[in-house]
Chains A and B, each alone.
Chain A
Amino acid sequence: MDSLRIICPNGHLGFAPLRVESFRLGVAARPGCIAADSGSDDVGPIPLGTDTSTSPLAWQTQDLEYMLAASRQLDVPMIIGSAGDTGANSRVDLYVQIIKELAAKHRLPRFKVGYFYSEVGKEDLRFRMRAGETVAGLEAHQALTEAELDATERIVAMAGVHPFIALLRQGADVIIGGRSSDSCVFAAPAIHHGFPENHAYYLGKVLECASFCAEPYGGKETVLGEITADGVEVTAMHPAQRCTVASVAGHAMYERSNPYFEHVAGGTLDMSECRYEQVAEKTTRITGAKFKPAAEFRVKLEGAGKIGERYVGMVGIRDPYTIAHVDEVMGWARQQVRERFGDTGYELHFTVYGRDGIMGELEPLRHRPGHELCILVQGVAPTAAMAEEVCMTGTRQMFYARLPDVKGSAGSVAFALDEVLRASPAYRWTVNHTLACADPLELFPVHMTTAGR
Chain B
Amino acid sequence: MSVRRLSELAKTIRSKNAGVDLITFDVIFADRTHYERVKRAAVLTRESVAALYRIPLSRIADFVHFDPACAIKFTIYRTRPSGGPGDPDIFGAQQYAPLLDVEVSDDA
Contacts of A297 in B (CB 8 A): none
B interface, size bucket = 35 or more
Question: Are A259's CB and B64's CB within 8 A?
Answer: yes
Determine the main DSSP class of B at the interface with A: loop
A27 to chain B, nearest CB (A): 30
A258: CB under 8 A from chain B?
yes
- CB interface residues, A 95-145, toward B, < 8 Å: 138-141
B48: CB under 8 A from chain A?
no
- CB interface residues, A 290-343, toward B, < 8 Å: 302, 307, 310
A411: CB under 8 A from chain B?
no
Report how far A260 CA is from B64 CA in the complex, Å. Answer: 9
Chain B proximity mask over A357-376: 1 for CB below 8 Å, otherwise 0: 11111101000000000001
Contacts of A362 in B (CB 8 A): 53-55, 95, 98
A93 to chain B, nearest CB (A): 24
Selected A-B contacts with CB under 8 Å, 21 pairs:
A42-B17, A42-B82, A42-B90, A43-B83, A44-B90, A250-B28, A253-B71, A253-B73, A254-B26, A257-B18, A257-B61, A258-B62, A258-B75, A259-B73, A260-B64, A276-B68, A360-B88, A364-B53, A427-B83, A428-B80, A429-B82
Question: Are B54's CB and A361's CB within 8 A?
Answer: yes
Known: A249-B69, A307-B85, A351-B88. A359 touches B94 (CB 8 A): yes
Question: Are A257's CB and B75's CB within 8 A?
Answer: yes
Question: Are A349's CB and B16's CB within 8 A?
Answer: no
A256: CB under 8 A from chain B?
yes
B12: CB under 8 A from chain A?
yes
The count of chain A contact residues (Cβ–Cβ below 8 Å) is 46
Contacts of B98 in A (CB 8 A): 359, 362, 364
A420: CB under 8 A from chain B?
no
B35 to chain A, nearest CB (A): 11
B106: CB under 8 A from chain A?
no
A2: CB under 8 A from chain B?
no
Report how far A46 CA is from B83 CA in the complex, Å. Answer: 8
Question: Are B90's CB and A427's CB within 8 A?
Answer: no
- CB interface residues, A 231-271, toward B, < 8 Å: 245-246, 249-250, 252-260
B19 (CB) vs chain A CBs: closest residue: A139
Report how far A250 CA is from B88 CA in the complex, Å. Answer: 27
Question: Are B62's CB and A257's CB within 8 A?
Answer: yes
